[in-house]
Chains A and B, each alone.
Chain A
């Protein structure tokens, strides 16, 4: 039973990391209808930069913050290329973000090389009701849940958040009432970059990062986000936590090599069921 509790808490910590990647995808998709393939790259860049700054002697907190800021700027840059030209279709933007993700490989290898990197997080082992786990997992959970609450409040309660949501629900009407849809899209990309960066900074102490970690990050994040149709942050959080727990339990009880497959199969199943429910024609109209 304590084994189970340990797996559960570790899984929640890992899942919170996926949920953060997912939240970035959701923030961008909600506003621009673009699925951002470069989302994993934001996490990788923030993590690598934080590692370098920590090694250079910057204290914890400050280094992570710098990583987040650079990830947000990276998000803004990706957004400017992906949706900057007026009349770029979401499908075209998707391919552009794919290209930007590959471009990030070149930059990352140039600066940090192609070896895995990591840095120390919250040290020590926590003891929760007899179950022992790395204390850092609790930190991930402790940061992620407030972030999601803040995001929900931001989208529902503030003017800026409402303007962002307006772009998502009806671009034309949003423009009519004076909202600059393109500017909101860029803002969403910057927000997505920061959220992706947060995911990278938080998970790197328990999970090494290489330049091509972005594939598994984006797959897990997309699997978490697709449960809520890429638009609902709360469902994405739930999806991420569920995915993390399922993977940890499967790994803990003997299927260690199949963690990514769990996410992949979940993603495929959810998408096929959704397509069957909404019908093909509606899907094409989106």
Chain B
């Protein structure tokens, strides 16, 4: 991808929030958060070759960590910074036994992890039980409290930019090359001296940190949290976004999240129009997730971004001239 395109995209997304009405601003924030989590999922699936059906648990861990710490008197910035750290620590502790598993075993193990977490949150007095945490203070930076959605739109923009930068650097690093080798042929990579287990755990922790950071922002943005905000379906949505956008690419997660979130929003708007039955929005969104996932896996196995790059002759020559 060319540098100019990237700069234009950055300027456009920075200029957009003040022009958006309030309800579209909320979509902007949620899209940015979804893209942030998806960057981690895409890294995990594309580079470490593992399917996680429990990524929303790290989103939940980050959100609850930020919420609980701030409600117990910590400054909100400290709570936000602690969110990715705590999520990554949880990932290291859980990943040490779980990452011995592969393929469908790991998929079920991560699903189990999330179900256990949801039940612990739902039954724990300290986490507010099924009602959840209410009255989480808003994020304040240097004495200035972020009250309106516009501020959060820029916080999310910055978070996504940082996460994309980190993931680009990790992918280009020695560890990133090692992981790609391991995803292709684990035995050969291991024989060449790549510490596969360690790298895999590191990617798992990094993707959890991304999800945790996004969760922290979510906690301050919404002001309340409940176990019901983090269903198993949310984890599946992240997988859909990662697969549709294109695994193992930098732009893929952003494109995937944008396509899915905007499509689902458009269909929800359609489904909530007068005259439509009350179940229309949920039926439409389930159908969209399902059909996009199946179609992407079967017909665009590498996702939208690589497919577009192959299609356009312009993109091809640009890549060639690099």
The chain A residues found within 8 Å of chain B, CB to CB, are 35, 81, 85, 88, 91-92, 94-96, 98-103, 105-106, 109-110, 113-114, 215, 219, 222, 226, 257-258, 260-261, 264-265, 267-268, 271-272, 275-276, 280-281, 283-284, 286
Contacts and interface: CB of A to CB of B under 8 A. Distances in A.
Interface of B is mostly: helix
B291 interface: yes
B103 A268 contact: no
Contacts of B297: 92, 95-96, 99
Nearest to B104: A35
Interface residues of B, number: 44
Contact of B286 (A81, A109, A257): A109
A110 B53 CA distance: 26
A164 B239 CA distance: 32
B270 to A, nearest CB: 15
B102 A95 contact: no
B232 interface: yes
Contacts of A264: 112, 115-116
7 contacts: A92-B298, A94-B51, A94-B103, A99-B240, A114-B279, A272-B98, A272-B100
Interface of B: 51, 53, 97-98, 100-105, 107-109, 111-113, 115-116, 119, 123, 186-187, 190, 197, 232-233, 236, 239-240, 243, 279, 282-284, 286-287, 289-291, 293-294, 297-298, 301
Contacts of B115: 215, 219, 260-261, 264
Contact of B293 (A95, A105, A260, A286): A95
A193 B214 CA distance: 39
B101 A105 contact: no
Contacts of B108: 35, 219, 222, 226, 267, 271
A94 B102 CA distance: 13
B100 to A, nearest CB: 4
Contact of A260 (B97, B119, B186): B119
B286 A92 contact: no
A286 B102 CA distance: 10
B94 to A, nearest CB: 10
Contacts of A110: 279, 283
Contacts of A272: 97-98, 100-101
A3 B294 CA distance: 49
Contacts of B98: 268, 272
B112 A219 contact: yes
Contacts of A286: 102-103
B293 A99 contact: yes
Contacts of A98: 53, 236, 239, 293
A280 B284 CA distance: 41
Nearest to B197: A280
Nearest to B115: A264
Contacts of A261: 115-116, 119
B102 A284 contact: yes
Contact of A268 (B104, B112, B289): B112
